A and B are shown apart, each in its own frame.
Chain A
């Protein structure tokens, strides 16, 4: 079967989608030229003959396929991890739960969950044209001034939860993150309380990180939070509750009061570096 794969230039997740599609059928990789215009681009993709239309389960991939599915009035399975016949396995709850479902319809429309398949090597890509159809398009792009290490790309993220207790309590989190050249993160409880801006939130509805080390201080480990931090290579939990769910996701733990432990780690780092 012919699998049309939308490939975004220089995008690792798109190459993972190609890797997935190569195991399913004959891949025809396409991109679309010009400035991004979701409805017009989707119209161009939907017009191509295919047995399946696939993209990465990224913001853009999921958006484009939602448009394609609406144009063709066909089902769309987002964030699929496996396809056997017409049964998909897909992600729910940001990865805390999986669903098996029968995907009817033709073409099959599905996005590939990030980091569930190996990326394909270089792939020949055709370029489709998508004439401006008057649908919404970007009016202007405002570049953000980069203030320090971004949460998404940081090698180390030191994060605080309810246990930090207050906005001021984050000074010890900031200190440790600063010493490690890392970023400060937090849980949803913290942003809902207004202690930190939403841009600091690690979670299903915040940023999904891929740090080498994630230090979770006073974070219980709700599924909402785990969805954001499970991409970290190593997780260290600092928590006063040895029964906290975070300990079933963390690699290492220190049990006790984060208000004593975090400053002690900062002091130890300074001591080791000073000698």
Chain B
């Protein structure tokens, strides 16, 4: 199978978010970067599918030049090559992102599966994968926690509050996945070394007019609350139980 996985570079936000002075981005000077958690599982799944049945795993991102780091991370756990749609680092909305991905896919041999995370960790738009599917005329199923390739089709499952819905769709298809699909592996040192020399294609798509145009970021109200300390160590246990009784849960 030929599998394409689309990922997004996002900061590792840790405990507190601060904004840049122009309110256009998270202050990331002291932060590391990763890809969205759902996408880590998408990459792992693609690599497992290709390990089991042969083929190729290609990983694609739209982002700044530094996003090469995330593509190399994906190659370190087994993706075969990367496609970087390089931007100046400003946000692209979901429609523009989808159309850049579609243009890039147009220059490739057809993929059997195109995987996305269900939604990105930062913008959380829930739509890039669906838009790509419609533009390519492919079936799409979202929010998946299980993928089983069959002959010319794929059987997939999604959680729906206390049950799992099963879909079977013919390939090629677009699938969007959730964390919990699998437990992603950590890259090995040899894997990291191999990743350095894997092929990476870089292009610079032009940014179209934004249909959902970000104006500014805002920190939500209620920052800087401070917990009431009930005590230190096991001596605080009686006060905790009093609290539980007061809340009616003890």
On A, residues with C-beta under 8 Å from B are 36, 38-39, 59, 62-63, 65-67, 69-71, 73-79, 87-89, 91-105, 111, 135-144, 146, 150, 152, 155-156, 180, 182, 188, 191-192, 194, 198-199, 201, 204-206, 212-213, 220-224, 233-237, 242, 244-257, 260-261, 263-265, 267-269, 272
B103 at the interface (CB under 8 A from A): no
Find B243's partner among A69, A97, A222, A252 (CB 8 Å cutoff). A252
Determine chain A's interface SS by DSSP, over half rule: mixed
A36 to B249 CA separation, bound complex (whole angstroms)? 38
B86 at the interface (CB under 8 A from A): no
Within the complex, the shortest CB–CB distance from A228 to chain B, in Å, comes to 12
B202 at the interface (CB under 8 A from A): no
114-161 of chain B: CB within 8 A of chain A:
119, 121-127, 130-131, 133-135, 139-143, 157, 160-161
| Stretch binding the partner chain, chosen from B56-64, B65-73, B193-201, B231-239 | B231-239
Contacts of B161 in A (CB 8 A): 152
- Range class of the B interface residue count: 35 or more
Contacts of A78 in B (CB 8 A): 119, 124-127
Find B183's partner among A91, A105, A143, A194 (CB 8 Å cutoff). A194
* Contact between B162 and A144, CB atoms less than 8 A apart: yes
Find A144's partner among B14, B164, B233 (CB 8 Å cutoff). B164
Name the residue of chain B whose CB is nearest to the CB of A179. B250
* Contact between A253 and B220, CB atoms less than 8 A apart: no
A104 to B130 CA separation, bound complex (whole angstroms)? 19
Residue among B126, B212, B216 with most chain A CB within 10 A: B212
* Contact between B166 and A138, CB atoms less than 8 A apart: yes
Contacts of A222 in B (CB 8 A): 13-15
A36 to B161 CA separation, bound complex (whole angstroms)? 15
B167 at the interface (CB under 8 A from A): yes
* Contact between A93 and B244, CB atoms less than 8 A apart: no
Contacts of A150 in B (CB 8 A): 162
**If A93-B13, A204-B121, A205-B121 touch, does A269 touch B244 (CB 8 Å cutoff)?**
yes
A248 to B225 CA separation, bound complex (whole angstroms)? 5
216-237 of chain B: CB within 8 A of chain A:
216-220, 223-234, 236-237
* Contact between B130 and A66, CB atoms less than 8 A apart: yes
* Contact between A212 and B248, CB atoms less than 8 A apart: yes
B105 at the interface (CB under 8 A from A): no
**If A70-B134, A99-B217, A144-B162 touch, does A213 touch B247 (CB 8 Å cutoff)?**
yes
On B, residues with C-beta under 8 Å from A are 13-17, 26, 36-38, 93-95, 119, 121-127, 130-131, 133-135, 139-143, 157, 160-169, 178-180, 183-184, 210-220, 223-234, 236-238, 240-241, 243-245, 247-250
A213 to B250 CA separation, bound complex (whole angstroms)? 10
Contacts of A199 in B (CB 8 A): 180
Find A93's partner among B17, B125, B160, B178 (CB 8 Å cutoff). B17
Name the residue of chain B whose CB is nearest to the CB of A93. B122
Residue among B37, B157, B168 with most chain A CB within 10 A: B37
Within the complex, the shortest CB–CB distance from A151 to chain B, in Å, comes to 12
* Contact between B234 and A100, CB atoms less than 8 A apart: no
Within the complex, the shortest CB–CB distance from B57 to chain A, in Å, comes to 21
* Contact between B131 and A70, CB atoms less than 8 A apart: yes
Contacts of A223 in B (CB 8 A): 13-17
Within the complex, the shortest CB–CB distance from A248 to chain B, in Å, comes to 6
* Contact between A205 and B244, CB atoms less than 8 A apart: no
* Contact between B166 and A139, CB atoms less than 8 A apart: yes
A98 to B220 CA separation, bound complex (whole angstroms)? 6
Contacts of A71 in B (CB 8 A): 134
